[in-house]
A = this chain, B = another copy of it.
Amino acid sequence: MRGQNPSLYKTLVSHYKIRMKKLFMTLVFATLTQHLIAAEDLVEKKEFQLKSYKTVSGKIIKNLRIGYESYGKLNSDKSNAILVAHHFSGTSHAAGKYAQTDATPGYWDSIIGPGKALDTNKYFIISSDTLVNLSPNDPFTKTTGPASINPETGKPFGMSFPLVGVKDFVQVQKKLIDSLGIKKLYAVAGPSGGAAQSIEWAATYPDAVPRVIAVVPPGLSLPPYVISLLNLWSMPVKLDPKWNKGDYYDKEAPVQGVAESLKMITLSAVYLDWAQTFGNGPAQAGKDPLHSYDHKFAAEAALQARGEARAAMIDGNSILYTARAIQSFNVENNAKKIKAEFLFIPAQYDLIFPPEVAMNASKKLCTLGRNSEVFVLEGRGGHLDGLFKIAGASEVITKFLERPLGSKGICKN
């Protein structure tokens, strides 16, 4: 082109330069603007402490601490607080970023923020780390559990840490809420294990919980199938010889067992489609998995990579403790005490808690005279759709939160 028509070339180059200059200015402006917005909205991890806490089983945990973060502002009469509880392998980082450079925001960022379903212009969202959280080594997670130092020995508790249940998670959160002067929440919400906590809140503190949003939830108790499944999620940690009955904090950690556990959790939490993109071929071209056992299929290698990516950050004993806590979830006998209205949001292809689990729980609450409805999240992402597709329920959540309590005839299962 250049040889053919020099003047056209010059025109194009000139045009290109102007466009590049415009583009550059736009980028600079955008970056500055973004920084200005971000500086105000960056999330801060706070810490809540208890000198002593007595577990449901009657054991004492001293110097208990958990992390929490909040989004939006608590109003003057402290009536606009929504507590968000996290899932099995999650943390309290539900929305926003700690720093502008963070690759991704918190797990429910698509529904927490100004104008979003959990609208921070209206509500004060508070999200807390659980006890025995899986990520005690994550600098942004604050928890108390088997990896914590036992003040009496100066060494990590390991398996001598008291066992706790979902009810303990909730009782500690209640003390956090109390410390902020909040007598009654506007709602409690959470996905998966966070849904279990939300339902436990409604059963344990019926007067403090008028609304529950239970996403990819168990029913009113953990399905016994999932009690078994959590046994399997825990198994690789215990089978790893480096677990050493939980005594590994001054040795090599059972990272391989943790990685295998995370692989299982991942595969339980997705559906067929997740692996489809990896196809039926080998992980490496030319390395046929029928030629050597060391050769892998692409779909196994992808799962392996997912497990290993987070393994170093996750504590093996804390997997066992969190699994046991979730296994214990059961409010069937306290269901009559519940006063809250419920919005259950199961995911269509959830292999852990298929939608029928939520539907049965919702029917039971309706039978007990509570307002309860089910909205099934569409999508082929399985259990994880409770995180990644939750925006699909934004409108339903907004309406649920705005609906006057005690409205007649709300029973949609």
Tell me whether A163 and B290 are in contact in the complex, defined as CB-CB below 8 angstroms, given that A229-B267, A239-B257 are known contacts.
yes
Please name all residues of chain B whose beta carbon is closer than 8 Å to the beta carbon of A139 when the two chains form the complex: none
The closest CB in chain B to the CB of A321 belongs to: B293
Query: Which of B221, B231, B274, B354 meets A300, CB within 8 Å?
Result: B231
Chain A 312-333, CB-CB to B under 8 Å as 1, else 0, gives 0000000010001001101010
Is the C-beta of A2 less than 8 angstroms from some C-beta in chain B? Answer: no
- Going nearest first, the 5 A-B pairs with the smallest beta carbon separation are A224-B275, A224-B299, A231-B300, A227-B299, A225-B275
Please name all residues of chain B whose beta carbon is closer than 8 Å to the beta carbon of A275 when the two chains form the complex: 223-225, 227-228
The closest CB in chain B to the CB of A165 belongs to: B290
Is the C-beta of A108 less than 8 angstroms from some C-beta in chain B? Answer: no
Determine if A227 and B163 form an interchain contact, defined as CB atoms under 8 angstroms apart: no
The segment from A26-34, A174-182, A191-199, A276-284 that touches chain B is A276-284
Complex CA–CA separation, A206 to B55 (angstroms): 66
CB distance from A375 to the nearest CB of B (A): 21
Complex CA–CA separation, A288 to B320 (angstroms): 16
Please name all residues of chain B whose beta carbon is closer than 8 Å to the beta carbon of A223 when the two chains form the complex: 272, 275-276
Is the C-beta of A236 less than 8 angstroms from some C-beta in chain B? Answer: yes
What are 7 A-B pairs at a CB distance below 8 A?
A163-B289, A224-B277, A224-B278, A225-B272, A228-B267, A235-B263, A239-B257
Complex CA–CA separation, A279 to B225 (angstroms): 9
Tell me whether A224 and B276 are in contact in the complex, defined as CB-CB below 8 angstroms, given that A229-B267, A232-B263, A260-B239 are known contacts.
yes
Tell me whether A327 and B241 are in contact in the complex, defined as CB-CB below 8 angstroms, given that A56-B290, A225-B272, A228-B303 are known contacts.
no
Determine if A280 and B224 form an interchain contact, defined as CB atoms under 8 angstroms apart: yes
Determine if A57 and B299 form an interchain contact, defined as CB atoms under 8 angstroms apart: no
CB distance from A364 to the nearest CB of B (A): 15
Tell me whether A224 and B293 are in contact in the complex, defined as CB-CB below 8 angstroms, given that A239-B236, A263-B232 are known contacts.
no
Q: From residue 214 to 257 of chain A, which have CB atoms closer than 8 A to chain B? A: 221-225, 227-229, 231-232, 235-236, 239-241, 256-257
Is the C-beta of A411 less than 8 angstroms from some C-beta in chain B? Answer: no
CB distance from A269 to the nearest CB of B (A): 12
Complex CA–CA separation, A183 to B328 (angstroms): 59
Q: From residue 289 to 317 of chain A, which have CB atoms closer than 8 A to chain B? A: 289-293, 296-300, 302-304
Is the C-beta of A351 less than 8 angstroms from some C-beta in chain B? Answer: yes
Determine if B324 and A231 form an interchain contact, defined as CB atoms under 8 angstroms apart: no
Complex CA–CA separation, A223 to B264 (angstroms): 17
Query: Which of B159, B228, B267, B280 meets A232, CB within 8 Å?
Result: B267
Determine if A280 and B222 form an interchain contact, defined as CB atoms under 8 angstroms apart: yes
Is the C-beta of A347 less than 8 angstroms from some C-beta in chain B? Answer: no
The closest CB in chain B to the CB of A329 belongs to: B280
Tell me whether A225 and B271 are in contact in the complex, defined as CB-CB below 8 angstroms, given that A159-B293, A239-B239, A260-B239 are known contacts.
yes
